[in-house]
Amino acid sequence: MSLRLDRLPDRTPVRMTISVDPDLATALTDYAEIYRQTYGAEKKPETLIPAMLEMFLGSDPGFRRARRALHTQASKGD
């Protein structure tokens, strides 16, 4: 049987723990406050960070090219 919708990818969240320097922690807290002021919705920095990282990685053309090449090499068995 063929469906228009492809099989969905694994969407199970993966927990990662990171440490950031105090200046970055303050900047992330400030960003969350500005987000609240802008959208009227309170979000913790740790809730915003995944979206920030996705946006950053998605906007980096060098990363996208290198990632495609990486996966192309891996699929060829290199």
* Residue 57 is assigned to a structural domain of this protein: yes
48 compared with 7, residue with greater pLDDT: 48
Alpha-carbon distance values, 59 to 43, 52, 54, 76 (Å): 23, 11, 8, 27
- pLDDT tier at 78 (50, 70, 90 boundaries)? low
* Residue 17 is assigned to a structural domain of this protein: no
* Residue 15 is assigned to a structural domain of this protein: no
User: Is-contact 32 43, C-beta < 8 A?
Assistant: yes
Provide the residue type at 74 as one letter.
Answer: A
Encode pLDDT of 8-58 as tens digits.
899 999 999 999 999 999 999 999 999 999 999 999 999 999 999 999 999
Question: SS3 for the chain, per residue?
Answer: CCCCCCCCCCCCCCCCCCCCCHHHHHHHHHHHHHHHHHHCCCCCHHHHHHHHHHHHHHCCHHHHHHHHHHHHHHHHCC
pTM given for the model: 0.77
* Residue 10 is assigned to a structural domain of this protein: no
Structural domain boundaries, residue 64? 22-76
* Residue 2 is assigned to a structural domain of this protein: no
* Residue 12 is assigned to a structural domain of this protein: no
* Residue 61 is assigned to a structural domain of this protein: yes
73 compared with 69, residue with greater pLDDT: 69
Give me the pLDDT at residue 74, please: 82
Count up the domains in the chain and report the number.
Answer: 1
- pLDDT tier at 76 (50, 70, 90 boundaries)? confident
